[in-house]
Each structure stands twice: as C-alpha cells, then as structure tokens.
Homo-oligomer: A and B are copies of this chain.
C-alpha cells in the first residue's frame, strides 16, 4: 500500500461530545484543531440491520432510526458550517479545510457480529460498519467544482486515508467514497459534502463487476478493466477528457443521461494504490469534469452522484479503482426518473446516446 498522506498534510483526530470521531485534514503546516464540542448531545442513534434478499442475493440495510434524521434544515442551523457566532455545528472549529466525522444518523455502525438465518431464506445481521461525512469547504454556498486544485488534492488525501483506516476495521468488506449533489438527488443537507460508507458486505453492483471480471479472466486471461479502458482509449468516440495518467469516458452502455467513468491508466485496486503522478494529475481532471457537468444545461448547478468504485476485500487483483460520475438530468427542464422499467427490472432506458453525451461533454470544454 502506498502512503495515504502523500503531500504535506496535517491530520488531527478529535472527538465530538457524543463520542463520535471528527478528523481534520489541513494542507501544509499543521493548524491547531483543539476546539471543543460544547453541545449537550445524546448518544447517536443505532440499531440498523442488514438483510440478504433471498430472491436476488442483494444485501439491504434496514435503518429505521434514520427516518428522524436532519432534513433540509435552514441555512442558519446548518450542521456542516463551522461553529461561529455562538452557533454550534458538527464541527467545533471556526473554520476548516477538510473535516471528516462519523455520521450522527449512520446507516451502518459498530462491530460485526454473526449472521442469523439457518434456512438461507432470512439471513440477517447487525448493520455493522461505519458512515462518515466529508466536509470539504466551510463555504455553505460553494460546491466541489469551486475548490482549487490544492483543496481537491487534500480531499483525495482524506478519501485515501479514510479508505486505508476503514478497510482495516474488522468485518469491513468495501469502502465507498461518494458525493450526492443537489436536492433533485435527495440531498437533505444543502452544505456541500461527501460521504463514506464502510460496508460489512460487498455491494450488489460491485459483486456483479467482480463476477464479470472473473468470467473475463477465465475467458481471456486478461483483466476486464484493463481491456475496457484500452478499448475506449483506442476507439475514442466516447472519450471526454484524457491526461497523462487518467482517461474519462462515457461508458458504452451508459445508464444515465450524462455519465462519465474516470480510470487511472495504471490499474490499482483502490485509492491507497495511487502513485504520486496519478495523485498530482487527478484534481485538475476531476474539477474539469465537474465544471463541464455544470455547463451542460446553461445556468445552474447540475445534480450529480460521484461514486468511487474500489476493490472489495479479496478482489484487489481484479476490481479496478475508478470513479463513476453521473447526473439524473436529461434536459434543462427534465429529470430522468427511475420508473417501472428501471426500478422494477433494473433495465435502464437511456434517452441520450453515449456518443452524443461524450460529444456534448467535449463541447462544453472551457
């Protein structure tokens, strides 16, 4: 594993009033991060469960306590702003660069325990794992695309560090760093932020990818993801952006109106495997992709999901780290809904051809 904090980065681990961890990441010189959380907090809610769907093999998390989670609070009660002017948020400091803390309403939390369900039809266990919130700017009204490259690099370092730490927790199968942006996606807190889920199972989408990779290896002796990336780079019709170390393309069978996959040219299993040249180039390319997404529909911010695919435990030789970025917006005034065909049968219908989407995403270059 390569080092997880590869540029000069200060990391300060602190504890919130209810015992949750809060970790500050600062670029360059260490910043004193000794502000104390003064809120009178009850212990965080717990008690989720994971259940295996016997009909599909997919794990589902049942998290009843999350019905009460914070839902679109007014800006003056934002829990992700720094604590200033007598207000106390989730982050006691009066400013921050990148701050990562355990979610107060986690879908997954705590140590693993044995699964129950001897008949194989009703297999369940505690919702073990960990859910973290990643704040990457103190500016309530900014977004990831507004960051400079130095800050984006700091976020990459934070994701990498969290991946290393969370993957090492007992019972964790997969670490998932992602960002939801926009009320259209269902974001319940307006302050820009990402999240990290440490799952006690391999997610259904990742499980299928590893199955496909194994089939491809058996049939060809080669890596599915190496072949995929090589084919897209050779074809070029769906390539959006390429650097020396990364290429972004619209996948051949894109599910979403605008969808881009960003792969490092040298395959790695997860963020901890990236080398310095890959890390150094990533911020520029990723920020450029986000800014192009915002230019697709004229004024306004494009809602998006940005999802890091990392190898689950035991699949480090097959699953290739990559980022999948997509929007549910199909036109300035229309969203892609997941109705009966998609939600009922997982059969996506995409109204925009991948080649057209790639062309548009090339056209909106600055």
Q: CB within 8 Å of B: which residues of A?
A: 49, 51-64, 66-67, 71, 107, 119-122, 124, 176, 178-180, 185-187, 195, 197, 199, 203-206, 208-209, 211-212, 216, 219, 224-225, 227-228, 231, 235, 251-255, 305-307, 324, 326, 328, 330-331, 334-341, 343-354, 356
A344, B55: Cβ atoms under 8 Å?
no
Which 10 pairs of residues, A with B, have the shortest CB-CB distance? Answer: A186-B337, A307-B344, A203-B345, A53-B253, A204-B346, A51-B253, A178-B340, A60-B253, A203-B347, A205-B346
A185, B339: Cβ atoms under 8 Å?
yes
* A179 / chain B contacts, CB cutoff of 8 Å: 340
A339, B305: Cβ atoms under 8 Å?
yes
Which listed residue (B60, B62, B204, B330) contacts A67, Cβ 8 A? B330
Given A66-B349, A187-B339, A340-B305, answer yes or no on A54-B224 (Cβ-Cβ < 8 Å). Answer: yes
A252, B345: Cβ atoms under 8 Å?
no
- Interface SS of A by simple majority: mixed
The distance from the CB of A192 to the nearest CB of chain B, in whole angstroms, is 14
B54, A107: Cβ atoms under 8 Å?
no
Which listed residue (B60, B67, B185, B212) contacts A331, Cβ 8 A? B67
A341, B51: Cβ atoms under 8 Å?
no
Since A51-B252, A57-B211 are in contact, a sample of 17 more A-B pairs with Cβ atoms closer than 8 Å, ordered by chain A residue number, is A53-B251, A54-B212, A54-B216, A54-B252, A57-B208, A62-B253, A64-B353, A119-B227, A178-B340, A197-B347, A204-B345, A204-B347, A205-B344, A305-B340, A305-B344, A324-B344, A338-B343
B347, A61: Cβ atoms under 8 Å?
yes
* A343 / chain B contacts, CB cutoff of 8 Å: 305, 326, 328, 338
* A62 / chain B contacts, CB cutoff of 8 Å: 253, 349-350, 353-354
Given A67-B351, A67-B352, A228-B55, answer yes or no on A340-B208 (Cβ-Cβ < 8 Å). Answer: no
Q: How far is the CA of A117 from the CA of B212 in the complex (A)?
A: 17
* A352 / chain B contacts, CB cutoff of 8 Å: 64, 67
B307, A348: Cβ atoms under 8 Å?
no
The distance from the CB of A307 to the nearest CB of chain B, in whole angstroms, is 4
* A176 / chain B contacts, CB cutoff of 8 Å: 341, 344-345
Q: How far is the CA of A49 from the CA of B252 in the complex (A)?
A: 12
* A340 / chain B contacts, CB cutoff of 8 Å: 178-180, 185, 195, 305-307
B209, A55: Cβ atoms under 8 Å?
yes
* A120 / chain B contacts, CB cutoff of 8 Å: 216, 219
**Closest chain B residue, CB of each to CB of A179:** B340
The distance from the CB of A208 to the nearest CB of chain B, in whole angstroms, is 5
Q: How far is the CA of A252 from the CA of B59 in the complex (A)?
A: 11
